[in-house]
Amino acid sequence: MKPVRLDGRSLTRAGLVAVAHGAQVELAAEQLPAVARAAEFLAEQVRREEPIYGVSTGFGSNADRLLGSHRVRDTLGDGSPASGESLHEELQRNLIVTHAVCVGEPFAPEVVRAMLCIRINTLMRGHSGIRVETLQALAAMLNAGIVPVVPQLGSVGASGDLAPLSHLAIVLLGGGEAFLGGERLPGAEALSRAGLQPVALSYKEGLALNNGTAQMLACGVLALSKLEDLLDTADLAAAMTIDAFAGRLGAFAEEVHALRPHPGQVEVAAHLRRLLDGSTLADIPYHLVPRFRPWTPDAWDDSEAQSLRFDIGWDWVSFTQRHGREKFYTRFRPFRGGKKHQPQDSYSLRCIPQVHGAVRDAVAQAARVLEVELNALTDNPIVFPDADREHVEEQVISAGHFHGMPLALAMSYVKAAIPVLASISERRLNKLVDPATNDGLPGFLIGNEDATESGFMIVQYTAAAIVNDLASRAMPASVYSIPTSANAEDHVSMGANEARHVLSMADDLGKVLGLELYTAAQALDLRRDMINAARALADRADAAALAGKVSGAPRQDHRDHAGFIADVEALRAELADAGEFHPGRAVAAAHAAIRERIPFLQRDRALDGEVAAAVQLVVDGAVLAAARDA
């Protein structure tokens, strides 16, 4: 992959994702003089014995304690430790080694690589006081493939992600642990194998390395990278479900959404129109849709049709039942099959633009925040070496850019949105398997003529379990501040937990969407095959054959019998003239991609491997790619 150039001002989300997945970085040469000026400025202020937070004072609640010119406990007689390390160097080293205290499972390598990239980029702004050689060493560590071991739990999101970023920096010092080539090693050994040397930190460099929002930002950017594809996947799953329901498209019309133009809502409606373009299942007349009947030995009278796993049927609406509704039955044939005579679908179908669109808007808002943060300075204090000010405290300013609340609240918004998208997906899945709501499809989408089969029954259970788990994790962490550092840091963001939750929740959302696609593909096959079986029967130009699928026929000697035959013939003619029924082009392509890995479920079989394959189709993007290509 092409190296990603870091100058502190132009890093994009796409660039960060590329580095996370293996791209190298290069430092913008024209920006390095600004980096050097800030470091030289700090060194000069130390020589002048100016009090500067985190440089010549302690940290946090120790900010009121100035470093002396020698040690209080002068064990060697000259105030220096055996290593020759100064108090300023010891301050920075101690900051890293005492703050690397996270616990739990390590972050995935892509998260850690993204954290390193973010930290390097913000330090390139030239307001942090880090030396060029230290920054180059950090970039060399990233480019060498060294991935520090960063346990996931330990950041409160202010002062930035202190503990996890210390796990990054400690490897640079030759401590901690790191992965290299997939092997977990002591940090010093990882550096040695890569041909790198440990770094001794100078003024403010420890603070520059661990004081920032890189963990929450890395998790947030990687989560949004997944979510943006999952938003399209959710629309695709919904479109396949609409085709499987022979749903109504009026609710997605452009002129409808122009009257309530929330950006995400308008985008989803347009996306659905593209996905369903070419469908002859959507908006099919109600009376053409037969309902499922269990297969019986005498269900079909020819050998080809006998291979079907279903029977079909309609109820005829007698003339006496049409009283007061004559106009309706002039327009629609007097048959009740799988579709109810109503112009609107349930909310989980009709309100897809409103629900999916609101989630898109939440993700778009988070993207705006993260894009600002990618090229922001997030450590403290901020160094202005070129400022013409009288006092050093006007050139080294303590502020609060490390506070993660902008990211935390954006992630809270997304965190609440993820279960919403998962929930409406599960509701569509449930409608597909429930014979009371699936518009004439078989219960649990299986023929089950011997009453031994469960079909897709438990697939819905799994989706329901995941939705419940997502909902229970959606409580915003950002509303629970717990003060730290002896109340010097008395309000924190908890943004690191928020972003970490969103990253893991995105994966689980993908599982629910995979289950909907898996189920919708089965339902689509059944719907298409049932309607086309009716059409094949109609093609025989034999109204009597079709009449055998209609319940409620009057006796031959009944006065309504001739009218019944005329109605059946009209139904037959309309079916025969309709042409083969099929889903939208993009939906058909996605369905074919699913069928390449997962066959139609004719009879009960083990589904565990198929469920895993359905989830993987979402993870690897194969089903979405097929729809996009179409």
In this predicted structure, the answer to whether residue 76 has a pLDDT above a threshold of 80 is: no
Number of H helices, E strands in the chain: 23, 13
User: Into which CATH architecture does domain 4-72+83-212 fall?
Assistant: Orthogonal Bundle (1.10)
Half-sphere exposure of 49 (CA within 13 A, CB side): 4
* φ, ψ (nearest 5 deg) of residue 292: -70, 140
224-364+411-629 is a CATH 1.20.200.10 domain = yes
Q: How far apart are CA 349 and CA 372, in angstroms?
A: 36
Half-sphere exposure of 379 (CA within 13 A, CB side): 29
Per-residue confidence band for 305, with pLDDT thresholds at 50, 70 and 90: confident
For 350-364, what is the mean pLDDT?
Answer: 98
The reported pLDDT for the residue numbered 387 is 80
- Of the residues 53, 203, 413, 518, which is catalytic? 53
Partners of 183 in beta bridges? 180
For 318-340, the pLDDT digits (tens) are 999 999 998 889 888 999 999 98
For 384-441, the pLDDT digits (tens) are 998 877 777 788 888 999 999 999 999 999 999 999 999 999 999 999 999 999 999 9
Partners of 315 in beta bridges? 336, 551
C-beta neighbour count of 462 within 10 angstroms: 16
* φ, ψ (nearest 5 deg) of residue 152: -80, -20
Single-letter amino acid, residue 356: H
For 495-547, the pLDDT digits (tens) are 999 999 999 999 999 999 999 999 999 999 999 999 999 999 999 888 899 99
Residues of 43-55 as b/e, b for ≥16 C-beta within 10 angstroms?
bebbeeebebbbb
- CA 383 to the chain's CA centroid: 37
Per-residue confidence band for 575, with pLDDT thresholds at 50, 70 and 90: very high
Q: Of 60-69, 461-470, 579-588, where does mean pLDDT reach its minimum?
A: 60-69
Q: How far apart are CA 14 and CA 611, in angstroms?
A: 30
Token pair listed for 314: 């309609």
The reported pLDDT for the residue numbered 74 is 61
Q: How far apart are CA 557 and CA 64, in angstroms?
A: 106
Single-letter amino acid, residue 376: A
In this predicted structure, the answer to whether residue 67 has a pLDDT above a threshold of 90 is: no
Q: Which residue has the higher pLDDT, 354 or 159?
A: 354
Q: At what angle do helices 214-245 and 622-629 cross, to 10 degrees?
A: 60
**Is there a contact between 217 and 373 (Cβ–Cβ < 8 Å)?**
yes
The reported pLDDT for the residue numbered 287 is 95
Contacts of 605 (CB under 8 A, 6+ apart): none
**Is there a contact between 446 and 523 (Cβ–Cβ < 8 Å)?**
no
The reported pLDDT for the residue numbered 485 is 84
Q: At what angle do helices 13-20 and 214-245 cross, to 10 degrees?
A: 100
- Size (the chain), residues: 630
Q: Please confirm, yes or no, whether 53 is among the known catalytic residues.
A: yes
The reported pLDDT for the residue numbered 68 is 67
Contacts of 64 (CB under 8 A, 6+ apart): 57, 58
% residues pLDDT > 90 (the chain):
83
Strand duo 335-336 + 311-316: pairing:
antiparallel
Per-residue confidence band for 490, with pLDDT thresholds at 50, 70 and 90: confident
Q: How far apart are CA 239 and CA 235, in angstroms?
A: 6
Q: How far apart are CA 300 and CA 294, in angstroms?
A: 12
Q: Domain limits of the chain? A: 4-72+83-212, 224-364+411-629
Same fold, 4-72+83-212 and 224-364+411-629: no
Single-letter amino acid, residue 587: V
Single-letter amino acid, residue 380: N
The reported pLDDT for the residue numbered 315 is 97
For 15-22, what is the mean pLDDT?
Answer: 98
Q: What single DSSP character describes residue 315? A: E
Contacts of 213 (CB under 8 A, 6+ apart): 118, 157, 160, 161, 373, 378, 402, 404, 407, 495
The reported pLDDT for the residue numbered 77 is 53
For 166-212, the pLDDT digits (tens) are 999 999 999 999 999 999 999 999 999 999 999 999 999 999 999 99
Token pair listed for 133: 């050689």
Question: Is there a cis peptide before residue 56, judged by omega within 30 degrees of 0?
Answer: no
Token pair listed for 557: 């000697």
Mean of per-residue pLDDT scores for the chain: 94
Which whole-number Å values give the CA distances from 165 to 150, 208, 405, in the listed order? 8, 10, 18
Question: Is there a cis peptide before residue 151, judged by omega within 30 degrees of 0?
Answer: no
Q: What single DSSP character describes residue 57? A: B
For 90-102, what is the mean pLDDT?
Answer: 93
Q: How far apart are CA 39 and CA 297, in angstroms?
A: 87
In this predicted structure, the answer to whether residue 82 has a pLDDT above a threshold of 60 is: no
In this predicted structure, the answer to whether residue 85 has a pLDDT above a threshold of 80 is: no
Q: How far apart are CA 230 and CA 624, in angstroms?
A: 9
The reported pLDDT for the residue numbered 80 is 52
